[in-house]
Amino acid sequence: MKSKQILIKFLGYYKKRGHKLIPNVSLVPENDSTLLYVNSGMFPLVPYLSGETHPLGKRLMNVQRALRFFEDIDNIGITNRHTTAFHMLGNWSIGEYFKKEQLNWVYEFYIEIIGLDPSRMYASVFAGDEYSPKDTESIDLLKKIFSKYGIEAKENERIFPYGREDNWWQRGDAPGELGGPDSEVFYYLGEGTGIGLNPAEHQDEFLEIGNSVFMQYRRTNDGGWNELPQKNVDFGGGLERIALISQRKKDIFQTDNFWPIIQKLEKLTGVSYNKDGKTKKAMSIIADHMRASTLLVMDGVIPSNKDQGYLLRRLIRRMVRAGKTLQLNENISVNLVSSVIEIEVLNYLYPELKNNISQIQQVFSDEEDKFRTTFEKGSNVVHKYLTNLQTVNENQVAESAFSFYESLGYPLEIFLEDIKDTNLNLDVIKVESIYNVLFKQHRDLSRKGAEQKFKGGLADHSDQVIKYHTATHLLDMALRNILGNHVTQQGSNISKDRLRFDFSHQNKLTSDEITKIESLVNETIKTDLPVNFILLPMDEAEKSGALHFFKEKYGDIVKFIISEKV
């Protein structure tokens, strides 16, 4: 089945069961400076899983773009399943239905709607520990579900209890994070049905295609877990992985989610994807990174040396490097944007991509050109250095890496990949840490801010952040008041230390305008208006003249903030 069809069927299946669609939000987390990128479908749901009322009710569904950058970047083209960007199909019970409905629906959807073979399906459940008991309820439910399809599902044969490392889901490790035991669906990819094999011991032969998280705990300050007042369900299934199985492909890059890019690469190089391992790996890296980078650019990211801009920069650089293996030495990313847009499911989810093609190409071509000069100068020098190394010593190699960076601008991460490809017996992690010490010594750069971002954590609902959030609304009001109604918000990012507000206006602000805007915001704050909210349908809220910044990010019902003079 085509990916678009899988997606439509998923949404149709859950719509029939009372679920409302919530928007697919940007990869760049809004109002959460603790996360560098959206890494799961649950990102927009954290407040509701914690107990806040969602305007659309208790049964929700989404298809959410997500990144697993640091988690998976080194696996691309090495395994048959890892990608940096993917789409998570999700259904959510906000303190309503629980295990019985959830498990029945997942298997019914996969088997009866998508047509997957139940004899190749396996399940895992939580084995239990000091915080949460063994999930015997799910085991009983799963036995009944499998028996509906004529399968006797025995524990440790079809249903596997695993510990916390495998069968517990939490987004991050910070106090306040939500988590819970989960039940994963595995699909056997080998010959036969796979019976007698344990998925945890045969990871290459099984593919995890869905995870039902029974989210019912909150992380405490001392690293334990307390029960939440409500029991939630968070289901996530990777669309691209489901497509791999449904389309009976050997790897994820041969599904319709990547194939138009691979085909274009075959055309540009005159070489088949399946020619050899090196070609396959290089083409997979480029296909993966093109898709991820296009989504990042669509979400307003520009290559830079920090935050999301740095991720994008790394993806583009890695494409340039992989392109060299294929003897593609110019305009790789620019030439491939149109193939990304040919991917049916992307076209369906992001119709705006088509209209922005030339802007996207411009971002790629600027960055690729900039890096190509550095790369072309540096890669031969580095290649010679690595192939002529007499002794293998991490200290010395790290020092050389630093000097290549200082003299040629050759980036460490590309150098580390060169080491891996040269098959030298070097500890790459050690080289990287020595390099980092050298870098710190030389530059004395405080990386605290950036490191914070990598930790992961709960969306911040502290008083300070709430104040900044209100302040963005005041700022928007003041900007429109002073500059005119053409001003629209283009983005916003709030942390506990500051707020950032991007907006469109044709000129640089004059100092007089800035003073006026500041005074208007400050005067409004001083009037100390009460702030309340009611839930209203979007069209009614619109009729009232309410401002909303990103229309598509609200559902049909909106949280309408009222504040009036008393």
CB of 184 vs ligand SER, minimal distance in Å: 8
CB of 235 vs ligand SER, minimal distance in Å: 6
Among 44, 90, 180, 194, binds ligand SER (CB under 6 A): 90
**How far is the C-alpha of 466 from the C-alpha of 464, rounded, in Å?**
5
Contact 170, 178 (CB under 8 A): yes
Q: Does 213 bind ligand SER (CB under 6 A)?
A: yes
Residue 516, Cβ density class (10 Å: 0-12 exposed, 13-18 middle, ≥19 buried): middle
Q: Which residues contact 155 (CB under 8 A, 6 or more apart)?
A: 139, 161
Residue 73 Cα distances to 70, 285, 315, 431, angstroms: 6, 9, 9, 19
What type of residue is 32?
Answer: D
With respect to ligand SER, which residue has the nearer C-beta, 184 or 367? 184
Question: Taking the chain, what is the end-to-end CA distance rounded to the nearest angstrom?
Answer: 59
3-state secondary structure of 87: strand
With respect to ligand SER, which residue has the nearer C-beta, 62 or 308? 62
Size of the site for ligand SER (CB under 6 A): 11
129 phi and psi, to 5 degrees? -155, -165
CB of 277 vs ligand SER, minimal distance in Å: 30
**How far is the C-alpha of 264 from the C-alpha of 204, rounded, in Å?**
28
Residue in 306, 300, 302 with CA at minimum distance from that of residue 316: 302
**How far is the C-alpha of 385 from the C-alpha of 479, rounded, in Å?**
56
229 phi and psi, to 5 degrees? -65, -20
- x/- site string to ligand SER, residues 220 to 239, per CB under 6 A? --------------xxx---
CB of 238 vs ligand SER, minimal distance in Å: 8
Q: Does 382 bind ligand SER (CB under 6 A)?
A: no
With respect to ligand SER, which residue has the nearer C-beta, 172 or 537? 172
Among positions 232-271, residues that touch ligand SER (CB under 6 A) are 234-236
- x/- site string to ligand SER, residues 131 to 170, per CB under 6 A? --------------------------------------x-
CB of 90 vs ligand SER, minimal distance in Å: 5
SS (H, E, C) 300-313: CCCCCCCHHHHHHH
CB of 406 vs ligand SER, minimal distance in Å: 40
With respect to ligand SER, which residue has the nearer C-beta, 88 or 397? 88
Phi-psi region of 128 (alpha: psi -120 to 50; beta: other; left: phi over 0): left
Q: Does 69 bind ligand SER (CB under 6 A)?
A: no
With respect to ligand SER, which residue has the nearer C-beta, 162 or 169? 169
With respect to ligand SER, which residue has the nearer C-beta, 69 or 235? 235
- x/- site string to ligand SER, residues 14 to 43, per CB under 6 A? --------------------------xxx-
**Residue nearest ligand SER by beta-carbon distance:** 236
Contact 475, 516 (CB under 8 A): no
Contact 243, 209 (CB under 8 A): no
Q: Does 211 bind ligand SER (CB under 6 A)?
A: yes
Q: Does 60 bind ligand SER (CB under 6 A)?
A: no
CB of 468 vs ligand SER, minimal distance in Å: 28
With respect to ligand SER, which residue has the nearer C-beta, 44 or 303? 44
CB of 213 vs ligand SER, minimal distance in Å: 5
What DSSP assignment string belongs to 220-253?
-TTS-EEEEEEEEEEEEEEHHHHHHHHTT-SSGG
CB of 118 vs ligand SER, minimal distance in Å: 22
With respect to ligand SER, which residue has the nearer C-beta, 45 or 465? 45
Residue 224 Cα distances to 200, 212, 232, angstroms: 26, 22, 19
SS (H, E, C) 273-304: CCCCHHHHHHHHHHHHHHHHHHHHHHCCCCCC
CB of 49 vs ligand SER, minimal distance in Å: 10
Residue in 177, 40, 173, 226 with CA at minimum distance from that of residue 458: 177
Among positions 346-365, residues that touch ligand SER (CB under 6 A) are none
CB of 182 vs ligand SER, minimal distance in Å: 7
CB of 130 vs ligand SER, minimal distance in Å: 23
Instruction: Give contact residues for ligand SER (rule: CB under 6 A).
Output: 40-42, 88, 90, 169, 211, 213, 234-236
